[in-house]
Chains A and B, each alone.
Chain A
Amino acid sequence: GIQVEQSPPDLILQEGANSTLRCNFSDSVNNLQWFHQNPWGQLINLFYIPSGTKQNGRLSATTVATERYSLLYISSSQTTDSGVYFCAVSPPDNQGGKLIFGQGTELSVKP
């Protein structure tokens, strides 16, 4: 089945720094989403981005489907950005809307 790899696994930043998180996937996909998991466990939607570029405030994302990767940019990081960031994709046959998650990037932003 399709494999999703995220890097780096852990990241520590000072408040105000910028960062780039990467998601590689092993096959074509027809859905790609980025999530932020807060300390209480809820997955917060950041981007639905099977291709192209989107921006939302300090966050932006780019997916290059032909090269099978996606990037999440966080600018001017804040302590509230801390948590785990997940990339998730749907396989080409979209088996019942199944999302396959990467292992996540754990981000810690220090004041």
Chain B
Amino acid sequence: ETGVTQSPTHLIKTRGQQVTLRCSSQSGHNTVSWYQQALGQGPQFIFQYYREEENGRGNFPPRFSGLQFPNYSSELNVNALELDDSALYLCASSFSQMELFFGEGSRLTVL
């Protein structure tokens, strides 16, 4: 059984750029959610995708967007990067919104 995998693991961008982060779900899972974790804080829910549609969103602006593909993998896109977007971005998958399993995360630095 393959776990949740994320890419890239680390990346550096400059303010105003755009970034795409990728996530492959654990096999058998149909739901993907994304979280942002700032240094020293608990993860914050960004949004969730189920059946390729956004199904729940946290308090994040529209420049945070996503996609879910037919194979249940997902992308998180962030436009017009700001310094405060520097964080660890975590992807989680689950079956029908039950127990969540997380990937290792993508650490984004915005300069």
Q: Which residue of chain A lies nearest to B55 when distances are taken between CB atoms in the complex?
A: A96
Q: How many residues of A are in contact with the other chain, CB < 8 A?
A: 23
Inter-chain contact A104/B42, CB cutoff 8 Å: yes
- Interface size of B as a range: 20 to 34
- A42, A45, A102: the one contacting B103 at CB < 8 Å is A42
- B48, B58, B101: the one contacting A45 at CB < 8 Å is B101
A-B pair count, CB < 8 Å, reads: 71
Q: Which residue of chain B lies nearest to A98 when distances are taken between CB atoms in the complex?
A: B45
Bound Cα distance from A43 to B105, whole angstroms: 9
Chain A residues with Cβ below 8 Å from B105 are: 41-42
B94 at interface, CB cutoff 8 A: yes
Binding site for A on B (CB under 8 A): 31, 33, 35, 37, 41-45, 47-48, 50, 54-58, 88, 90, 92, 94, 97-105, 107
Binding site for B on A (CB under 8 A): 31, 33, 35, 40-43, 45, 48, 86, 88, 90, 94-104
